[in-house]
Every structure is written in structure tokens, then in C-alpha cells.
């Protein structure tokens, strides 16, 4: 990856045209061929960019040979980035280079998300009494003919409970649990089976549908399940 901080102007031509006047910016040239132009604002989104597949050609000029940009100021280096499929071009003219460095980052291991459904399922299985005193875990990923139920448990009275877990509880999740319940309740060894729809956040429409189907909704607190947040000590 090459990182360049420079006073530059940028012109994009193709399906649309765009111009960035002379200003200090961060230019990023990545190993995959992409080129991104960033300012000090605008959060993570670049001001302009070219995605691969593309080619980058660089034209350098000495101070004596420096050409003039549209505004009359001299540039010392020009990047021409051309998309190999669309023909769109990104032209970056560097007037003064403040920093220029290259770094070999290697293969990225990828984003490892915390608090995804698998984590919530494992934590709730380990802390099944979070749903009520005397509850016991029967099995995680309880197999059915239409897919595995996240958790099958028994409440304090020994009744079967099917639990579907989502990070964000939406109508689709309620529909999924409904199908599981219809199938599980055909098993005389389990019936009657009631359902719990558990998520970190549940949309109002999902709550309404769950109530209509006789399904309870439970909001999961990820930090509390991990034991790093004392819910009882909160003010609100």
C-alpha cells in the first residue's frame, strides 16, 4: 500500500465528470489496484476513487519542466488511472508532495465480528437460567427436517421451549421460528413446545407478529451475558 499526502487536484471522466480543485489530500494506492482520494473530513468515504481492474501510469516532471494546471499553478507529477473495462479515467495532479510511504501489509485475516448470532447462542446456552430459574439446556442446534433450532431447552416445569436467536429481530426471524414450532409440536416426545424469539434488538413489527403467534420475545444484553456488565447496578 502506498500512502501519499500531497497538494493535488483531481479530475474524473467517464459516466460522469467531477473535479476536485487544488487542496491537501491523502492518496491511497492499494495492492489490489484501487486508488482512493481522501480529505480530512467525510468519515471513511473517499472524495473520489477508481476501483479495480484498472491501470496506473505516472508522469513525473522536474521543477524546470513543471506544467501548469487549469488554475495556473505548476504540477510536478500526474497519475492517470484508467479502468480497464469501462475506460473511465481518474487524473490526479500532484503539486507538492508532503509525505510518501509504502507498506507491505500482507494477506488480511478478515473481520472477526463480536456479538454475532453464534456468540449469542453460545452465551445463552451457557447461561440458560438467564431465561428463568430452573431452566435446563437440552441441545444447541437441535436438528429438524427444515434446519436446526438454535436452542432447545426445558423450563422450570419441564416443558419444551424452542429458542431462535438473532442480532436484530425482524419479521423473518419470527416466521422462521413459527415453522420450527409447527414441526416440533408434531413430536409427541416434545409437544407441547412453545417459542422464544431472542435478539439484541427486536423491531416493533416482529413483536406484534410474535405475540399473534403466541411467541415470547426476549431482548438479550450481550455484555450482561458475558458477565462484564452489572445490569442491577445501572441507573437506567
Q: What is the pLDDT of residue 234?
A: 47
Q: Rounded distance, CA 49 to CA 56, Å?
A: 12
Mean pLDDT check: name the lowest of 9-13, 115-119, 154-158.
115-119
Edge-to-edge strands, sheet with 77-83? 48-50, 35-38, 18-29, 2-13, 89-102, 77-83, 54-60
pTM score, whole prediction = 0.53
Choice between 73 and 25, residue whose per-residue pLDDT is larger: 25
- Does domain 2-102 bear CATH number 3.30.379? no
**How much is the mean pLDDT over the chain?**
88
Q: What is the pLDDT of residue 224?
A: 76
Residue ranges, comma separated, of all CATH 3.40.1350.10 domains in the chain are 117-233
Residue ranges, comma separated, of all CATH 2.70.180 domains in the chain are 2-102
CATH of domain 117-233: 3.40.1350.10
Instruction: Provide the pLDDT confidence category of residue 61 given band limits of 50, 70 and 90.
Output: confident
Q: Map grid coordinates 416445569 to a residue.
A: 157
Amino acid at each position: 500500500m502506498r500512502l501519499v499526502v500531497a497538494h493535488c487536484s483531481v479530475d474524473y471522466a467517464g459516466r460522469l465528470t467531477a473535479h476536485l480543485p487544488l487542496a491537501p489530500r491523502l492518496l491511497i494506492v492499494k495492492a489490489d489496484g484501487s486508488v482512493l482520494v481522501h480529505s480530512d473530513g467525510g468519515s471513511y468515504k473517499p472524495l473520489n476513487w477508481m476501483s479495480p481492474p484498472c491501470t496506473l501510469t505516472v508522469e513525473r516532471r522536474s521543477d524546470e519542466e513543471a506544467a501548469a494546471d487549469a488554475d495556473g499553478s505548476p504540477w510536478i507529477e500526474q497519475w492517470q488511472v484508467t479502468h480497464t473495462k469501462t475506460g473511465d479515467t481518474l487524473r490526479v495532479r500532484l503539486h507538492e508532495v508532503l509525505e510518501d510511504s509504502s507498506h507491505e501489509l500482507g494477506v488480511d485475516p478478515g473481520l472477526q465480528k463480536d456479538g454475532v448470532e453464534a456468540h449469542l447462542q453460545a452465551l445463552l446456552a451457557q447461561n440458560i437460567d438467564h431465561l428463568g430459574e430452573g431452566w435446563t439446556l437440552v441441545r444447541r442446534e437441535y436438528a429438524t427436517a427444515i434446519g436446526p433450532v438454535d436452542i432447545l431447552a426445558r423450563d422450570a416445569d419441564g416443558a419444551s421451549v424452542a429458542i431462535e436467536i438473532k442480532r436484530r429481530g425482524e419479521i423473518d426471524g419470527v416466521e422462521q421460528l413459527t415453522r420450527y414450532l409447527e414441526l416440533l409440536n408434531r413430536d409427541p416426545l416434545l409437544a407441547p413446545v412453545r417459542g422464544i424469539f431472542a435478539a439484541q434488538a427486536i423491531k416493533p413489527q416482529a413483536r406484534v407478529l410474535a405475540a399473534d403467534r403466541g411467541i415470547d420475545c426476549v431482548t438479550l444484553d450481550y455484555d450482561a451475558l458475558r458477565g462484564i456488565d452489572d445490569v442491577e447496578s445501572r441507573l437506567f
